[in-house]
């Protein structure tokens, strides 16, 4: 007896509909028709069955604090860091936990079953690290939470950051983070990249740095990150997040840099929702978009993901942890409108971040974990266009979330019976 059969599934890049069979939490068969019965059977009716969405860059400790202690009126990264600096020492363990659990519920409902969250380790008590390690265990049946030790106030700018970062890794935080562009000088930023990579290499951990999240084209810490990861043999285990200075770099240098990133197998993580709002704030007109060079990275074969980064916190006032919304914005900002380009945007919220996070048994092949999302869309590009309803979210072969299908495009827009537009009723 099988645990689950999904019939008539449209799987990305498969030419015909398939049935998918699951047993004991794994996909055990894929075929045009699978005989036999299962405890649960779902007719996907030709809708898209996708591997779950993966958010490769998030901040679970600051999420859902929007307006506390007040709103970021300038909309800049630096005012956000100042506001978070005021707020974080006032937050209790319970506050951290309740917000994180709420966000995880939202994530599951949207089909996001793996999240890499940075955790600020600048607080001497490491409250956020302790709480999120406990949340990671609590939510394990539903989603994989991977945690990054993030020295938000700088490795050298904050007097105890290095000690606290090592302590947080001793507690079990998974990945080494950094923020070289926020150190006091370029030179200290460069030194922080090398020191943090060495800590990760010595412990056998991955690296994910906030890197060059600025409009300053001289901010080139990604070059140090790539060359250091080559020197330390960390190919494919290092991620550079944001990389927005690449938007403003000279084309000649950027082209050389892309080659170096490719050689180092750097995982690039762009955050289109937040960087389209944070960057270019000091520009008049023309105003830079501030997102990194996604299209060029994809063309070069660099593993490129999109992260949500923030939901309702000192840096970003909007969001509901919907990775299709992230992909939708990314498609626009990076101008990924060609068919292959739009299709690659879907990879940026599924298989590419799964690779960056080194997720095991991810995907829809036989033997993979039976983790899937059934979307009310014919394929990946339509799913992005519609930010399609997540009809079923499945984890290890069990349905963990359901959302009713919308019956028409009118209903999808939020109307139940009729829309009134310009005094005219549309039936």
* Position closest to Fe ion via CB: 309
The site for Fe ion, by CB under 5 A, has a size of: 1
Judged by beta carbon, residue 120 or residue 322, the one nearer Fe ion is 120
CB atoms within 10 A of CB 419: 12
Judged by beta carbon, residue 152 or residue 265, the one nearer Fe ion is 152
Minimum Å gap between C-beta 210 and Fe ion is 5
**Integer Cα distance of 392 and 384 in angstroms:** 17
Judged by beta carbon, residue 18 or residue 273, the one nearer Fe ion is 273
Minimum Å gap between C-beta 179 and Fe ion is 9
How remote is the C-alpha of 203 from its chain's centroid? 24
- Per DSSP, the three-state class of 244 is coil
Question: 10: which 2 tokens?
Answer: 């449209």
Interface pattern 15-54 for Fe ion (x via CB under 5 A): ----------------------------------------
Minimum Å gap between C-beta 83 and Fe ion is 15
Judged by beta carbon, residue 76 or residue 341, the one nearer Fe ion is 76
Minimum Å gap between C-beta 365 and Fe ion is 31
Judged by beta carbon, residue 19 or residue 215, the one nearer Fe ion is 215
Minimum Å gap between C-beta 84 and Fe ion is 11
> Which residue reads 């937040």 in tokens?
274
Question: 26: which 2 tokens?
Answer: 């794994």
**Integer Cα distance of 374 and 66 in angstroms:** 31
CB atoms within 10 A of CB 414: 8
> Is 213 part of the annotated catalytic residue set?
yes
3-class SS letters over 199-237: HHHHHCCEEEEEECCCCCCCCCHHHHHHHHHHHCCCCCC
Interface pattern 299-338 for Fe ion (x via CB under 5 A): ----------x-----------------------------
Catalytic residue selected from 183, 213, 223, 325: 213
Question: 135: which 2 tokens?
Answer: 């949340």
List beta partners, residue 394: 372, 399
Binding site for Fe ion (CB under 5 A): 309
For the annotated catalytic residues, the residue numbers are 213
């Amino acid at each position: 007896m099988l645990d689950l059969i999904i019939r008539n599934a449209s799987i990305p890049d498969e030419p015909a509909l398939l049935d998918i069979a699951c047993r004991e939490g794994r996909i055990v068969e894929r075929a045009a028709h699978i005989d036999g019965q299962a405890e649960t059977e779902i007719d996907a009716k030709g809708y898209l069955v996708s591997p779950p969405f993966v958010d490769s860059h998030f901040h679970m400790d600051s999420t859902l604090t929007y307006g506390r202690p007040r709103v970021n009126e300038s909309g800049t990264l630096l005012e956000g860091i100042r506001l978070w600096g005021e707020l974080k020492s006032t937050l209790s363990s319970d506050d951290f936990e309740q917000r994180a659990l709420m966000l995880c519920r939202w994530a599951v409902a949207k089909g996001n079953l793996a999240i890499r969250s940075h955790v600020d380790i600048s607080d001497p008590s490491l409250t956020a690290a302790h709480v999120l390690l406990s949340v990671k265990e609590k939510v394990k049946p539903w989603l994989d939470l991977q945690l990054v030790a993030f020295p938000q106030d700088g490795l050298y700018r904050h007097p105890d950051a290095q000690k606290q970062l090592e302590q947080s890794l001793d507690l079990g935080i998974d990945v080494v983070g950094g923020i070289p562009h926020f150190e006091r000088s370029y030179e200290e930023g460069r030194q922080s990249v090398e020191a943090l990579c060495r800590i990760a290499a010595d412990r056998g951990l991955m690296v994910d740095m906030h890197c060059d999240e600025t409009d300053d084209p001289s901010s080139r810490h990604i070059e140090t990150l790539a060359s250091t990861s080559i020197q330390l043999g960390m190919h494919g285990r290092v991620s550079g997040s944001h990389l927005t200075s690449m938007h403003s770099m000279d084309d000649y240098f950027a082209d050389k840099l892309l080659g170096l990133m490719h050689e180092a197998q750097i995982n690039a993580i762009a955050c289109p929702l937040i960087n389209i709002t944070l960057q270019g704030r000091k520009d008049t007109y023309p105003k830079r978009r501030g997102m990194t060079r996604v299209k060029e990275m994809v063309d070069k074969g660099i593993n490129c993901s999109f992260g949500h980064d923030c939901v309702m916190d000192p840096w970003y006032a909007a969001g509901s942890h919907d990775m299709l919304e992230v992909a939708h914005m990314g498609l626009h900002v990076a101008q990924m409108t060609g068919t292959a380009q739009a299709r690659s945007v879907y990879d940026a919220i599924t298989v590419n971040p799964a690779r960056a996070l080194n997720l095991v048994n991810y995907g829809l092949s036989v033997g993979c974990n039976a983790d899937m999302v059934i979307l009310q869309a014919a394929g990946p590009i339509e799913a992005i266009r519609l930010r399609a309803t997540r009809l079923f979210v499945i984890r290890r072969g069990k349905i963990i979330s359901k959302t009713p299908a919308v019956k028409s495009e009118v209903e999808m827009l939020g109307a139940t019976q009729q829309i009134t537009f310009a005094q005219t009723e549309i039936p």
